[in-house]
Amino acid sequence: MLKIYHSTGTRGFRVIWVCEELSVPYEIAPVNFAPEYRATPEWRAVNPLGKVPVMTDGDMKMFESCAMMQYVLDRYGNGRLQPVADDPTYAHYLQWCWFAEATFARPLGEIVNHRREFKPELDAVVAEMKGRATACVAVLDTAVSDRPYLLGETISAADLSICYTLRGYRRMVTETLPANVQAYFDRVTALPSYERTVKADTETSERLKG
């Protein structure tokens, strides 16, 4: 069975969401997110960079959350939540999947890093990164201005991945989203699988305490 090493509120959320939406069995191994734990040889043996998430499937072990999503889709998705390679929407499916992590999540990650590591530089760097993330949201607002989902009428894993990043944007930059993005976010997070994912995510930290 898939095992997702996860800490509450972190990128394993998007992998759990895909599993929930596809009804693919998985288990969560809660990870103590404290830097001290992530620096231990025990955790470095699981992820040499000390980050989360990590996913295993039998002997296979991988990091990078979007790669995990793609693995779950290709291995267990039976064609659901993604277009086939000769579909006209395929290129944009790839684009939005990569955009979610490589472009949109990047400035959000820098806000977290700078707050933690470079407190005197906080204001200028954080303001710049908030601006970069907000520019991504403006691009999304245009993209969903004439369609319910990024690829058109059909929801895909790209929507789940983007909406995970939007959660971080709302937390770190502003709760107020442009109208089209707000409607889009509300639409995607109305999936029953979202509620189940929020529950699983919340319970992860509770399991560590208990």
Ligand X SMILES: N[C@@H](CCC(=O)N[C@@H](CS)C(=O)NCC(=O)O)C(=O)O
If the CB atoms of residues 47 and 154 are measured against ligand X, the closer one turns out to be 47
Phi then psi for residue 29, to 5 deg, are -105, 110
Of 170 and 187, CB closest to ligand X: 170
101 forms part of the interface with ligand X (CB under 6 A): yes
Hey, which bits of 2-73 come out as E strands?
2-6, 26-30, 54-57, 60-63
128 binds ligand X (CB under 6 A): no
Q: Please, which contacts does 81-90 make with residues 24 or more away whose CB atoms are closer than 8 Å?
A: 81/18, 81/21, 81/22, 81/155, 81/156, 81/157, 81/160, 82/156, 82/157, 83/151, 83/154, 83/156, 89/151, 89/152, 89/154, 89/156
Using CB under 6 A as the binding rule, whether residue 11 contacts ligand X is answered as yes
Instruction: Select 35 or 192, whichever has its Cβ closest to ligand X.
Output: 35
What does DSSP say about strands 60-63 and 54-57: parallel, antiparallel, or unpaired? antiparallel
3 state SS of 2? strand
* Amino acid symbol at 154: T
* Shortest distance, position 68 Cβ to ligand X, whole Å: 8
Q: Which is nearer to ligand X, 112 or 122 (CB)?
A: 112
Contact window for ligand X (CB under 6 A) among 47-55, 73-81, 90-98, 197-205: 47-55
**Which residue is at the shortest CB distance from ligand X?**
51
- Window 48 to 67, contacts with ligand X (CB under 6 A): 51-53, 63-66
Closest approach of ligand X to the CB of residue 11, in Å: 4
The footprint of ligand X (CB under 6 A) covers 10-11, 51-53, 63-66, 101, 109
